[in-house]
Amino acid sequence: MEEHDRVTTEATGRQAAAHATAQEAAAQATAQAAVPSGIPSLDVRDVTVRFAGLTALDAVSFTVRPGTVHALIGPNGAGKSTCFNVLSGVCRPAAGSVRLGKHELTGLPPHRIAGLGVARIFQNLALPPHATVEDCLLLGRHRLTRAGFLAAGLRLPSAAREDRRHRERVREIAAFVGLERQLDRPAGSLPYGQQKLAELARALCMEPRILLLDEPVAGMTAAERRRTAAVVAGVRDSLGISIVLVEHDMGVVMRLADAVTVLDFGRRIADGAPADVQNDPAVVRAYLGERADPEETAS
Amino acid sequence: MSEVLTRDETGSAPRPARRRTIRLPGARTAIGAAGAVLLLALPFYVDRFWLEAGLFAMAAAIGAIGLNLLTGATGQLSMGHAFFLAVGAYGYCVFAADGGDGLTGLGLPTWLAAVLAVAVSGIAGGLFSPIAGRLRGAYLGIATLALIFIGQHVLFNARDLTGGFNGRDVPPLSLFGLTFDDRELLVAAVPFGSAEKLWYVGLLLLLGCGLFARGVLRGRPGRAMNAIRDHRIAAGVIGVPVARYRAAVFVLSSMYAGLAGVLLALVFQRTVPDYFGITLSLDYLAMIVIGGLGSVAGAVVGAVFVSLLPQLLTRYSDTLPLVSDPGMGGIAPGEAARYLYGAAVVAVVLFLPGGLVRVAARLRVKPRPGATPGEER
């Protein structure tokens, strides 16, 4: 717990270091005043995405309340990853809006959305195989650091100081997820579960206000699942940030989620507390097919 | 959880590994120091031919470092590197010449002309950067082909600036009252001509460029560049402004090419448009592939290999089988060199992904598995 508290306070202090545009500075100022209580809510309103005739998302709406874990579930092809692509700016919706506090996210390029404190891990690993884990995590510090080509090339003292400070922070975050021993190993040499953890750590290195987790425990062993679920719960409890979770493992979803939105063929078919959603006939139908008896399948 | 714990215990192996890395730099600095002394002493012992070959390799190495930043580290293919070399070479001539030969010349101090030539290459890269920022990988390679064609057209036809087909003379560099021309200067009873004097300029420039590029690659920009190469979409989501970085790296790489162009012009003492064709761009790509993509050492090794090979073959054409002097019916040394490094590119891609520097790295790492058995237990 002590560890977690330090993570929080450090987060506030560090965030003062960075920023170029006034907008970012403003966003940062609110973050600084606010951690952990002032995490903005994420409002997704009537988002529609079409790919050449196929409607991947059809007027989907949901709200992620500050400091909660919001799960996004549904069968394969339901539009969960598309939804994440909209939230992180990779994909522009044909209609609808996504608002983080007072910022409209649709139409912003991905790096600006990252600048507002939205971090994401990918369903398929996106770690450079040869770089060390430490370098991977330092990449997560990109938006919080300043050193440009000139400062890095000439090894200016300011760049060296910044580098040292952020390496220290990276070590703390690695310890938080349990990877401090692996920092100088190439990321590609780690077992799959640890690579997923490294990616989670990299997202945490961005000091996010909203964390988007795309299947964080997929392909993990039971022990790794427990470990990851504990880290995710720890992140929510200690950092107070909001988490949007896409996951097929219902055990993890039910254990972690405060609210669940269910998608099927790009449409929202249910939204609410985990227990309610679990018993929703529409959800059961989507997962198990037609005319199932809700009483039997809910368990 | 238990798995994490066991890993923690076995993970205590890094300690012996660390002791090993402390000892290694000792050997490395010794080799480095010996190499430095050798390089510094060369002008006193070897003749002009070797010095010019070496200078040519240094210039190529600077250009290759620039291309490796763009293509190796950021994954952006460029076929237009020769264009920026030409901008540097001709830019230097235009700024430094006094106009005595009837061509445009601003008559600026030569050191300033060199700096301006590099700046102009950067500006040329900057003008192309709206395109360089938007296109990725191979698509940029195709777009930069246009630069070669435009460049060749301009070089042949803007006679006032470039001297047309015959090219133009390059004014010798002069620094702190020392002119790097062929007037001989006796240093320790060794006559110093332009090659001897330029040798030290070349070494200094290469060292500076190499260290700068290494700093960039190991620092924050390098991590962002590699992220763009490996996972472009993820890089953006992590907060790297992808287009801005691509454009910035393109400018930086053009400036390296410009500096390489200036140095080449000073070594050749004459610039001709034919040289800056598409083959030159391909030579540079061959350098970084053979040497090793994405690293400074790779660029330097590749540049030395590709630029010394034809010179060596020319020098020893009479003793080598199949190779003969140009015009004697056999394979000319230039052609033979092309075949050889063509084969080298294929061999490297097939058997040595990572280039020649990987061989060195592999030799250095080899003792490791035996020394730290505990790590894998």
CATH code of the domain in which A38 resides: 3.40.50.300
Percent of chain B predicted with pLDDT > 90: 34
Q: Indicate if the pLDDT at residue B376 is higher than 50.
A: no
Backbone angles phi, psi at A260, to 5 degrees: -135, 135
Q: How far off is chain A from B230, nearest CA to CA, in Å?
A: 6
Q: How many residues does the structure list for chain B?
A: 377
pLDDT at A236: 85
- Cα separations in angstroms, A240 against A3, A235, B34, B187: 14, 7, 57, 71
Percent of chain B predicted with pLDDT > 70: 83
Buried b (16+ CB within 10 A) or exposed e, B12-33: ebbeeeeeeeeeeeeeeeeeee
Strands A267-272 vs B168-169: parallel, antiparallel or unpaired? unpaired
Contacts of A90 (CB under 8 A, 6+ apart): A110, B233, B236, B237
Compare CB distances from A152 to B220, B226, B234 and report the shortest one's residue: B220
Among A46, A44, A207, A203, which Cα is nearest to A116's?
A: A207
Query: Residue B20 — very low, low, confident or very high, per pLDDT cuts 50/70/90?
Result: very low
Residue A111, class by beta-carbon neighbours within 10 Å (0-12 exposed, 13-18 middle, 19+ buried)? buried
What tens digit of pLDDT does each residue of B251-264 get? 999 999 999 999 99
Q: Indicate if the pLDDT at residue B340 is higher than 50.
A: yes
* Cα angle B242-B246-B250, degrees, rounded to a multiple of 5: 170
Amino acid code (one letter) for A170 = V
CB contact under 8 A, B240 and A152: no
- As for the ipTM of the complex, it is 0.80
Rounded CA-CA distance B341/B336 in Å is 9
A172 in B contact zone (CB under 8 Å): no
Range of the domain at A185: 2-297
CB contact under 8 A, A153 and B213: yes
Residues A67, A39 contacting (CB under 8 angstroms): yes
CB contact under 8 A, A153 and B241: no
What tens digit of pLDDT does each residue of B76-102 get? 999 989 999 999 999 999 998 887 777
User: Tokens for A275?
Assistant: 């227990």
CB contact under 8 A, B220 and A120: no
According to DSSP, the residues that pair with A98 across neighbouring strands are A44
User: Which residues in chain A (47-106) have CB-CB distances under 8 A to chain B?
Assistant: 88-90
B50 in A contact zone (CB under 8 Å): no
Q: How far off is chain B from A1, nearest CA to CA, in Å?
A: 17
CB contact under 8 A, A126 and B231: yes
pLDDT at B189: 66
Strands (E) in A171-217, as ranges, are 210-214
pLDDT at A131: 86
pLDDT at A224: 86
Rounded CA-CA distance A35/B51 in Å is 63
Residues B260, B88 contacting (CB under 8 angstroms): yes
Rounded CA-CA distance A138/B330 in Å is 56
User: Tokens for A125?
Assistant: 């690993």
Residue numbers in B near A149 (CB within 8 A): 216, 221, 248, 252
A159 in B contact zone (CB under 8 Å): yes
Q: How many beta-carbon pairs under 8 angstroms link A with B?
A: 112
Mean pLDDT check: name the lowest of A287-296, B31-40, B318-327: A287-296
Rounded CA-CA distance A282/A248 in Å is 17
Compare CB distances from A206 to B213, B238, B241 and report the shortest one's residue: B238
Q: How far off is chain A from B278, nearest CA to CA, in Å?
A: 29
Residue numbers of chain A with a pLDDT score lower than 50: 1-36, 292, 294, 296-299
What tens digit of pLDDT does each residue of B107-127 get? 788 889 999 999 999 999 999
For residue A246, what is the DSSP state? E
What tens digit of pLDDT does each residue of B151-200 get? 899 888 888 888 878 888 888 888 776 777 766 666 666 677 777 888 88
> What is the three-state SS of chain B?
CHHHHHHHHHCCCHHHHHHHHHHHHHHHHHHHHHHHHHHHHHHHHCCHHHHHHHHHHHHHHHHHHHHHHHHHHCCCCCCCHHHHHHHHHHHHHHHHCCCCCCCCCCCCCHHHHHHHHHHHHHHHHHHHHHHHHHCCHHHHHHHHHHHHHHHHHHHHHCHHHHCHHHCEECCCCEECCEECCCCCEEECCEEECHHHHHHHHHHHHHHHHHHHHHHHHHCHHHHHHHHHHHCHHHHHHHCCCHHHHHHHHHHHHHHHHHHHHHHHHHHHCEECHHHHCHHHHHHHHHHHHHHCCCCHHHHHHHHHHHHHHHHHHHHCCCCCCCECCCCCCCECHHHHHHHHHHHHHHHHHHHCCCCHHHHHHHHHHCCHHHHCHHHHC
Among A174, A123, A170, A159, which Cα is nearest to B222's?
A: A159
The total domain count for chain A is 1
pLDDT at B324: 63
Q: What is the mean pLDDT of residues B267-287?
A: 89
Residue of A142, A162, A204 to mutate, interface with B, max B Cβ within 10 Å: A142
First to last CA, chain A: 34
Contacts of A65 (CB under 8 A, 6+ apart): A41, A242, A258, A259
B248 in A contact zone (CB under 8 Å): yes
* Cα angle A291-A294-A298, degrees, rounded to a multiple of 5: 130
Residues B64, B302 contacting (CB under 8 angstroms): yes
pLDDT at B323: 64
CB contact under 8 A, A149 and B231: no
What tens digit of pLDDT does each residue of B282-313 get? 989 989 998 988 889 999 999 998 888 888 88
Compare CB distances from A159 to B219, B239, B252 and report the shortest one's residue: B219
Residues A197, A139 contacting (CB under 8 angstroms): no
Residue of A84, A118, A124, A139 to mutate, interface with B, max B Cβ within 10 Å: A139
Give the containing element (helix H, strand E) for A190.
Answer: none
What tens digit of pLDDT does each residue of B189-233 get? 667 777 788 888 899 999 999 999 999 999 999 999 999 999 888
pLDDT at B86: 93
Residue numbers in B near A154 (CB within 8 A): 212, 215
Rounded CA-CA distance B272/B280 in Å is 13
Residue of B223, B293, B368 to mutate, interface with A, max A Cβ within 10 Å: B223
Q: What is the mean pLDDT of residues B22-28?
A: 63
CB contact under 8 A, A131 and B218: no
